[in-house]
Amino acid sequence: MAPPYIPLAEIPTVSLLYKLKRLIPSHQPANSPSKTLNDTISLVRNDITKLEGVDCIVNAANERLLGGGGVDGVIHRAAGRGLLEECRALNGCDTGDAKITSAYNLPCKRVIHAVGPIYYYEKRITEDGPEKLLRSCYRRSLELAIENDLKSIAFAAISTGVYGYPSKEAARAALDETRRFLESSNNIGRLERVIFCNFEAKDERAYEDLVPIFFPPVDEPQATGNEDSHKESPSPDVLAASLPNPPTVEPKLEGQPESKKLKVSSPDVGRDASTQTAYVSAVSEEKSEDEWEEVNKPDTGRTETLDDDPVEIGRPSSATDVQSVQSSGIIDDMAHSQSTDGFLDRSVP
């Protein structure tokens, strides 16, 4: 039986996590404390498709937007065939950009599909390329939420799976970019909740370490002793008992096959005439199945060896479908000559 949905009201804010001592204040915070922001930012470890009452969720998508493995595949399967059909009409998405769709069978209003960078591949091109593209994913997703009058948004960890982005580096970029966005004069008060929903323990630990740096705690006023004791807030133990439990199994629908390893070869078009080899890995102390083989990028040709079922169940897979992989991303078309560079030129100063 599928696990129950988690209402928005039960997703803990940063303010509550400090009160429960789930977050430890940093000795060197990068920003000033803000109760408003700490009541806006939330952190939870769970299956993002189970968040109920959140206006939109952000999918860690690939450039084709046709579904894949990890959170991408779970979102597509939970949403149903309608999501895939709408995504087909979007003609893909550049790395660093995002597009929005309806949510179909998901317990939210909309789905934002953000395409994160393949860490080591982009880093070979420019040292700060991965960070610029990842920041762009978060910024563009937040912009789309506001443009569509959405008040709450939940992010899956972008690029920290098979795309190889180190969890702490990714969390640092995401938290900093989110704070900058929320503090911009045009965006103040426009979003009521911003949730970082991680499934992997390694991503959760990264956020727990870095949230106190970007969203430090606010000093609570000391009690005067004159308040009515019957009006005191619930104890930390009571509050902690109400928090949603972290997941214990990989999110998937009933009957979905177990994920396996795969090896993907893809051409490198227009960037480097020589053969490039990009290593991508999803390292987790829990030894999850996010373990991948080497990704080779020859000058010509594209071959894919696939073990998982495609997203579109019930018909044979085709060359245009994105195949399942196990992670929050998927090894996709690495031909960025018409996408990554062009997008950076337009959106990153």
Which secondary structure element, helix H or strand E, spans residue 18, and what is its range? helix 14-19
Query: Distance (Å, rounded) from C-alpha 8 to C-alpha 51?
Result: 7
Considering only residues 266 and 176, tell me which one the structure prediction assigns the higher pLDDT: 176
Domain assignment of residue 284, yes or no: no
The tens digit of pLDDT for each residue in 158-210 reads 999 999 999 999 999 999 999 999 999 999 999 999 999 999 999 999 999 99
pLDDT for residue 188: 95
Which is more confident, 175 or 273? Answer: 175
pLDDT in the model for residue 3 = 58
Rounded Cα gap, residues 243 and 220, in angstroms? 22
The reply to whether 175 falls in a domain is: yes
Q: What is the pLDDT averaged over residues 17-39? A: 96
Task: Indicate the number of domains in the chain.
Answer: 1
Show the domain range for 114.
10-217
Per-residue pLDDT tens for 230-264?
Answer: 455 555 555 555 566 655 555 554 444 444 433 33
Cα(22)–Cα(1) distance, integer angstroms: 30
In a domain, 150, yes or no: yes
Q: What is the pLDDT of residue 4?
A: 85
Residue 266, both tokens = 């893809």
Residue 244 lies inside a defined structural domain of this protein? no
Cα–Cα distance, 82 to 102 (Å, whole number): 9
pLDDT digits (tens, 9 = 90+) for 111-156: 999 999 999 999 999 999 999 999 999 999 999 999 999 999 999 9
pLDDT of residue 251: 55
The one-character DSSP state at 35 is H
Whether this model's pTM surpasses 0.95:
no
Question: Which range is most confident: 79-93, 278-292, 321-335?
Answer: 79-93
46-68: pLDDT as tens digits: 999 999 999 999 999 999 999 98
Whether residue 132 lies inside any domain: the answer is yes
Instruction: Classify residue 27: in a domain, yes or no.
Output: yes
Q: Could you tell me the CATH number of the domain that includes residue 134?
A: 3.40.220.10
Asked if 161 and 117 count as a contact pair (C-beta separation under 8 A), the reply is no
What DSSP string describes 177-238? HHHHHHHSTTTTTT-SEEEEEE-SHHHHHHHHHHHHHHSPPPPPPPP-S-S-GGGPPPPHHH
Mean residue pLDDT across the chain:
77
| Count of other CB atoms within 10 angstroms of residue 59 | 33
> Mean pLDDT over residues 314-318, rounded?
44
Q: How many angstroms separate the CA atoms of 246 and 45, rounded?
A: 5
pLDDT computed for residue 235 by the predictor:
52
pLDDT at res. 2 = 58
Classify residue 289: in a domain, yes or no: no
Nearest CA to 268 out of 336, 340, 345, 343 is that of 336
Is residue 201 in a domain? yes
Between CA 151 and CA 144, with CA 53 as vertex, the angle to 5 degrees is 35
User: What confidence score (pLDDT) does residue 68 get?
Assistant: 87
